[in-house]
């Protein structure tokens, strides 16, 4: 992640409550709060298009400079509330950071490469928690499964972390499991039983069906 971050202009928010928040959203603004250790919280509102683009492009660990009344505040996106129907951002929480400061964040885990033929790759965890320099948070942690054989496993402690980062997640957690195609024996037996039952029912219907012409009555016109 680059050390040059987008600047987003914000206005201070003096009115609070659901009514005020609704009016801001109707005007295309998103209310939010900037939390900083040892400092007063800053209540603000920002343009919905700007903040949506930032979150969409950089995710929930995005770093930005929030400019409020001429003061620039280096901050990290900590939490986003989205409308369940429109998916628009309804509220955003930022956490103030300083250069050289470390923060604890959750980072997505992804894998790349091809495992051995017939192997099935199961990703057991989607994110890991790490402590890392606030200005060098990775977008994701990528691990290779190239050539992995059935029975191979990758633990959280095996994941390649950025330089200077520390794993907070239990290193013994299973991250990637390379296994074989597993068939649920009960489901398979039920399917076979249903198939056999269908075949028997079809045979009985054929036995009970009248021969051609047999049982047909005559009709008078």
Q: What is the pLDDT of residues 180-201, one digit of tens each?
A: 876 655 556 666 677 766 555 5
Please name each of the domains of the chain with its CATH number: 7-98 (2.40.240.10), 104-180 (2.170.120.20)
Residues in contact with 121: Cβ distance below 8 Å, sequence separation at least 6, in sequence order: 111, 115, 145, 148, 176, 177, 178
Count Cβ atoms below 10 Å from residue 80 Cβ, excluding itself: 18
DSSP strand pairing (102-112 vs 141-144): parallel
Query: How much is the average pLDDT of 20-39?
Result: 90
The predicted structure's pLDDT at residue 113: 94
Using a 10 angstrom Cβ sphere, with 0-12 exposed, 13-18 middle and 19 or more buried, the burial of residue 131 is middle
220 pLDDT exceeds 60?
A: no
Which neighbouring-strand residues pair with 116? Answer: none
| Phi, psi dihedral angles at 91 (to 5 degrees) | -160, 150
Mean pLDDT score of the chain = 85
Q: How many CB atoms lie within 10 A of CB 81?
A: 14
pLDDT value at 36 more than 50: yes
Contact 3, 135 (CB under 8 A): yes
In Å, what is the CA distance from 157 to each residue of 107, 125, 161? Answer: 14, 12, 9
Residue 173 has pLDDT above 50, yes or no: yes
The residue ranking higher by pLDDT, 101 or 167, is 167
> Which residues make Cβ contacts (< 8 Å) with residue 128, sequence separation at least 6?
106, 107, 109, 141, 156, 159, 167, 168, 169, 173, 175
* Predicted model pTM: 0.67
Q: Count CB-CB contacts under 10 A for residue 2.
A: 7
* Angle ∠(123,121,129) on CA atoms, nearest 5: 20
Which range is least confidently modeled, 77-81, 88-92, 178-182? 178-182
Q: Is the model's pLDDT at 171 over the cut of 90? A: yes
Name the residue among 174, 157, 176, 175 with its Cα closest to residue 166: 157
d(CA 64, CA 75): 6
Nearest to 66 by CA among 38, 25, 30: 30
């Amino acid at each position: 992640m680059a050390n040059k971050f987008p600047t987003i202009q914000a206005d201070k928010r003096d009115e609070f409550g659901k009514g005020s928040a609704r009016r801001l959203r109707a005007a295309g603004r998103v209310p939010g709060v900037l939390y900083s250790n040892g400092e007063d919280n800053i209540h603000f509102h920002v343009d919905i298009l700007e903040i949506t683009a930032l979150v969409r492009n950089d995710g929930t660990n995005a770093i930005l400079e929030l400019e409020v009344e001429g003061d620039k505040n280096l901050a990290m996106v900590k939490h986003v509330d989205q409308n369940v129907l429109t998916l628009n951002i309804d509220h955003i929480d930022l956490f103030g950071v300083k250069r050289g400061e470390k923060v604890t964040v959750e980072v997505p885990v992804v894998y790349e490469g091809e495992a051995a033929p017939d192997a099935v790759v199961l990703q057991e965890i989607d994110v890991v928690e790490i402590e890392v320099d606030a200005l060098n948070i990775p977008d994701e942690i990528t691990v290779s499964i190239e050539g992995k054989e059935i029975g191979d496993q990758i633990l959280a402690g095996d994941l390649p972390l950025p330089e200077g980062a520390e794993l907070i997640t239990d290193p013994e957690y299973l991250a990637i499991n390379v296994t074989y195609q597993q068939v649920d024996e009960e489901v398979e037996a039920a399917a076979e039983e249903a198939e056999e039952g269908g075949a028997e029912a079809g045979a009985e219907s054929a036995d009970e069906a009248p021969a051609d012409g047999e049982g047909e009555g005559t009709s008078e016109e």
